[in-house]
Structure 1
């Protein structure tokens, strides 16, 4: 048995890349443990005996609330998190059946990590996160607005005279004042307003600032990122951007504040798109997106940063097309909001994106008013297609009358889907829960979104159907150690990193948002909110976040690799293009995703 165990460990990554001397030194220290079915291996808070490797049998790992977070079989290892956090167990482990384990003592484990890079990289999954944190201070794509903004900006009342406002700005050596009434931001006054409106027009000194301020200015929240500030300033030609949280003014960011940081190279794209005169001009901008993706990936940006920035460009392109449609057909006869769903709605666009969108209109419109929006929607969708955001194969677009309706109709849609969760209703609800307003009057959507989440989460039959629907996309795990690939067709011997990789986590994130009535639409933000809201356990959620990051990053790097080769990006990754190290980690990620799918199916994904 010792010889077979020696051969087993020698073939297992990362032990297969250890020098012979290091491996044989390790072998002298390993211990063997056997456990009958149901036996405890260790409990949360206990001192760890070492790193465990399953030679035979099955092991379950549970968090502090006894929620299942991993189900492990032959070749899987566990216990490294406890060893790297002071040697105290952060989970509990039990033998699900008669099990034989190889145990590597703590001293040997830490020595291997210290002496061998491949071994350290295999277990130190936080390395990239730490690197990201270290870089975040210097990159607008990584820094939050809360870090950039000047807190507690100087304010004035709307009745303040322009003379007193100018004196206050001079005394404080600032270029703007936030105009506040009843603790609510109602406007912004800048030096340009004083010179271009007050002085140029010869207004008397006692003119109230309300006469020349910019009312209802555009704002961002403290959780936005630096590139959001830059993009909004570029698109709307702003020099000052108030920061508002829960309706309260908490800070302001100016162009001067951005000079400390290196501007993202997506800013040029946003600026060009916002000023494009024709659809051809917009298409010239979007044709460069694949090259931008390569640059962003090569610069070491994380997948969610890259996709957020690429989606920002799509948002600006959409808003410019909406403006072009208004220029062509005249002012809209009623309020509307244009919404994106799918990857654009989730701010997760990559190098391969079609368009998914819809229109919500205000109620009580005449047939003439409704008719206006038909060519309007067609104009925008045609423009998106010309810019590379091809027509949705499923016709999920505002050009389809079904997805161009008044608020009351949309309300009935959602209520019907929730009360009668057919297959089609589940599919449509899944798409529509990812809606995000892009242009128009956002207030038309606010109440609808909140009401739908509340109604849906309270309907146990609907959530059960949605959970089942969320499990339709399986992970590409083979029976043995390898990855299961597509068996036939033009994509033979590849893994679909979208349908089998990213989509299962997108589905899980959507379910957690539904269960917890969570507002975020972005998948990563949903997972973080689900952890914070205790919809899922912290340990299970963190593992799922790590798994999602690895799968999504691998997919993005595959697309960048194809683009560099002069090929069109796709989602079909040949595992042979990965190293043994990368394949091993990717398989571990799929095991985590499958485990969380199983927990959802068994009702253990939610904390009671």
Structure 2
């Protein structure tokens, strides 16, 4: 093969949809290609003319227009155009013009037709427009293991073992022994239909009965756990895993409607789940000091890498890592209470940012606060909570959660306040918004109570949901701040690299990708009065409204998933290579598929930010003066 044809073949093989074609097919294409050169500003195709070729950009840049003359897209090296005209009547649908001096490989219509009819991957690619190509990329990247596709009923090995909640301790222990179960579901049979009232486990018998030497005639109601957390029979195993992580429970009754179908336990999922995330959480809660927790923290990255290698999606990985982070916080708070004694007034430890959103990864800092009961008296009580906050913060740092550089931690007196003060904070931020103040307090609009009186944070979320949607200036200023971080796309759909020393020629996928996406999704969620915290759940809430144009929610979801999963896999590869993980990727380290799909995802973000400015009339810096 001539050197020129080899060069054409090799270049085609680096870009979709040619990268997956057989070598002999690439040779055939290279042998049929005509090379055309267009000077900047010259017309390549005109609307309505006969479509004769599929155009592949070897170098340069091309603008694609609608028939009205409106700019439709900008394409660069490796992109194709003209396929829609070839597939629909053999006439040009989208005129094209060279934006700069451009070299194009022209693939004849008959060869395009042959590829379209005989190669499924090629056909799928050329039939999908830009707005749906990213969805295909997410589906291609998002192959998942059984955890994501198998229902919880798969783990049920026997019918539910239950008993009336009126029985005595000894009778409950006998039933559990005879049936060989570690959990007994207790039923309230006082009404016309029995209803679930509680559960008792082996652990309850050990810690609440045997340890305290309770008599055998003790009513089982005295030691059973109430406020049952259940899971639907149609739920997936990964949902059960996340529910256990989030609530720190070891047994979940599976229900169909109101009827119990069985009980699944922590051990069932650990046996089923190769990532063993729940094993890490279980191990955290067994530790007796910070040294033990620090030792367990070494398992977190292994768990993260195993989940990535099992093709879990970003929502599952983020939720699992956040669940592990919450468990470290919960155990440190328990150890703090053992050291300092009972708290002088009730409190709630509040997670902020990625932990609250269930979007935490292995490169993270700590963002938290304390919401105290309104009976809190600083002179009398703050010494206790100051020591508690320091103990927890230092413990988290020892376990790999670095201190917050912005001092958004419970160690800061400002973020260790009674509920009424927190309500005043949020009310002031929303009703009297100032751009700079909102920039610094943005993180507080991702909040979740993870220990103590979590109803306090429920009240704060309710307050935010009620007030935020009514304050257009608040939403406008939040939108204005969200536009500060733009996607790394240049005018010609080329990547704009970081230029800050050691991270030169990289893209920060958090700062320029997932973070601005989370920002704009949060604003839409606040505007529709949702209390959801997770970005994907927020999008689901927004989808129930007419807030965004048709298709926008799906595009934002796909963009967030793809950027997040590329970021996640970049971190996992660094860990496997013995390097310190970060958020900075080099485009040359990505496959052509990933580079193209990232551009599509960043374009979705760019379009989302344009709509954000339009929808909320986001002011510019000059308008704020």
Q: TM-score range by the shorter chain?
A: 0.7 to 0.9
Q: In the alignment, which residue of structure 1 is the partner of 2:73?
A: 72
Of 372, 375, 396, which residue of structure 2 is paired with 1:384? 396
Are residues 53 and 217 of structure 1, via their aligned partners in 2, closer, same or farther at CA, if it must alter by over 3 Å? same
Instruction: Return the alpha-carbon distance in structure 2 between the equivalents of residues 170 and 288 of structure 1.
Output: 34
Note the 1:166-315 alignment, pairs <5 A. 176-180=184-188, 186-189=197-200, 203=216, 209-217=220-228, 226=237, 229-230=240-241, 240-242=251-253, 253-255=263-265, 258=269, 261-315=272-326
Given that residues 26 and 108 in structure 1 are in contact (C-alpha distance below 8 angstroms), is that contact kept between their aligned partners in structure 2? no
In the TM superposition, what is the alpha-carbon distance from 1:506 to its structure 2 partner?
0.8
**Residue-by-residue CA offset, 1:522-554 (whole Å, 9 max, x unaligned):** 222322332244443452222222222221111
Are residues 585 and 419 of structure 1, via their aligned partners in 2, closer, same or farther at CA, if it must alter by over 3 Å? same
Q: In the alignment, which residue of structure 2 is the partner of 1:509?
A: 521
**Residue-by-residue CA offset, 1:126-156 (whole Å, 9 max, x unaligned):** 37637857x45x22x6656587679996777
Are residues 263 and 493 of structure 1, via their aligned partners in 2, closer, same or farther at CA, if it must alter by over 3 Å? closer
SS of residue paired to 2:492: coil
Given that residues 235 and 274 in structure 1 are in contact (C-alpha distance below 8 angstroms), is that contact kept between their aligned partners in structure 2? no
**Residue-by-residue CA offset, 1:303-339 (whole Å, 9 max, x unaligned):** 3322222222111111010001101110111111111
Q: Which moved more, 1:177-186 or 1:323-332?
A: 177-186
Q: Which runs of 5+ in 1 are unaligned?
A: 1-6, 37-48, 62-67
Q: TM-score, normalised by structure 2?
A: 0.75
In the TM superposition, what is the alpha-carbon distance from 1:418 to its structure 2 partner?
0.6
Matched, 1:395 2:377: no
Note the 1:32-431 alignment, pairs <5 A. 34-35=46-47, 57-59=63-65, 72-74=73-75, 110-111=116-117, 113-114=119-120, 125-126=135-136, 129=139, 135-136=144-145, 138-139=146-147, 143=150, 158-159=165-166, 176-180=184-188, 186-189=197-200, 203=216, 209-217=220-228, 226=237, 229-230=240-241, 240-242=251-253, 253-255=263-265, 258=269, 261-367=272-378, 368-431=380-443
SS of residue paired to 2:349: strand
Given that residues 83 and 126 in structure 2 are in contact (C-alpha distance below 8 angstroms), is that contact kept between their aligned partners in structure 1? no
Instruction: Return the alpha-carbon distance in structure 2 between the equivalents of residues 234 and 549 of structure 1.
Output: 22
Q: Which moved more, 1:256-265 or 1:166-175?
A: 166-175
Instruction: Return the alpha-carbon distance in structure 2 between the equivalents of residues 553 and 231 of structure 1.
Output: 18
Are residues 260 and 351 of structure 1, via their aligned partners in 2, closer, same or farther at CA, if it must alter by over 3 Å? closer
**Residue-by-residue CA offset, 1:528-587 (whole Å, 9 max, x unaligned):** 332244443452222222222221111122222222332211111121222333222211
Q: In the alignment, which residue of structure 1 is the partner of 2:620?
A: none
Q: Which moved more, 1:297-306 or 1:252-261?
A: 252-261
In the TM superposition, what is the alpha-carbon distance from 1:406 to its structure 2 partner?
0.6
Q: In the alignment, which residue of structure 2 is the partner of 1:3?
A: none
Q: TM-score, normalised by structure 1?
A: 0.77
Instruction: Return the alpha-carbon distance in structure 1 between the equivalents of residues 96 and 178 of structure 2.
Output: 76
In the TM superposition, what is the alpha-carbon distance from 1:472 to its structure 2 partner?
1.3
**Residue-by-residue CA offset, 1:367-388 (whole Å, 9 max, x unaligned):** 3123321111111111111111
In the TM superposition, what is the alpha-carbon distance from 1:249 to its structure 2 partner?
7.6
Instruction: Return the alpha-carbon distance in structure 2 between the equivalents of residues 385 and 419 of structure 1.
Output: 36
Of 478, 481, 501, which residue of structure 2 is paired with 1:469? 481
Matched, 1:550 2:562: yes
In the TM superposition, what is the alpha-carbon distance from 1:514 to its structure 2 partner?
0.8
Are residues 355 and 53 of structure 1, via their aligned partners in 2, closer, same or farther at CA, if it must alter by over 3 Å? same
Note the 1:571-590 alignment, pairs <5 A. 571-590=583-602
Are residues 52 and 159 of structure 1, via their aligned partners in 2, closer, same or farther at CA, if it must alter by over 3 Å? farther
SS of residue paired to 1:214: coil
In the TM superposition, what is the alpha-carbon distance from 1:442 to its structure 2 partner?
0.9
Q: In the alignment, which residue of structure 2 is the partner of 1:460?
A: 472
Are residues 320 and 223 of structure 1, via their aligned partners in 2, closer, same or farther at CA, if it must alter by over 3 Å? farther
Q: Which moved more, 1:366-375 or 1:408-417?
A: 366-375
Instruction: Return the alpha-carbon distance in structure 2 between the equivalents of residues 173 and 280 of structure 1.
Output: 36
Q: Which moved more, 1:527-536 or 1:577-586?
A: 527-536
Are residues 218 and 580 of structure 1, via their aligned partners in 2, closer, same or farther at CA, if it must alter by over 3 Å? closer
Are residues 74 and 417 of structure 1, via their aligned partners in 2, closer, same or farther at CA, if it must alter by over 3 Å? same
Q: Which moved more, 1:589-598 or 1:513-522?
A: 513-522
Given that residues 59 and 94 in structure 1 are in contact (C-alpha distance below 8 angstroms), is that contact kept between their aligned partners in structure 2? no
Instruction: Return the alpha-carbon distance in structure 1 between the equivalents of residues 581 and 561 of structure 2.
Output: 19
Q: Which runs of 5+ in 2 are unaligned?
A: 1-7, 36-43, 618-625
Instruction: Return the alpha-carbon distance in structure 1 between the equivalents of residues 599 and 522 of structure 2.
Output: 23
Given that residues 338 and 359 in structure 1 are in contact (C-alpha distance below 8 angstroms), is that contact kept between their aligned partners in structure 2? yes
In the TM superposition, what is the alpha-carbon distance from 1:484 to its structure 2 partner?
0.6
SS of residue paired to 2:385: helix
**Residue-by-residue CA offset, 1:398-450 (whole Å, 9 max, x unaligned):** 00011111110000000100112112332244211111111111111112211
- How many residue pairs are counted as aligned between the two chains? 562
Instruction: Return the alpha-carbon distance in structure 1 between the equivalents of residues 306 and 505 of structure 2.
Output: 28
Aligned-residue CA RMSD (Å): 4.8
Given that residues 45 and 95 in structure 2 are in contact (C-alpha distance below 8 angstroms), is that contact kept between their aligned partners in structure 1? no
Q: In the alignment, which residue of structure 1 is the partner of 2:3?
A: none
Q: In the alignment, which residue of structure 2 is the partner of 1:46?
A: none
Given that residues 350 and 447 in structure 2 are in contact (C-alpha distance below 8 angstroms), is that contact kept between their aligned partners in structure 1? yes
Are residues 264 and 493 of structure 1, via their aligned partners in 2, closer, same or farther at CA, if it must alter by over 3 Å? closer
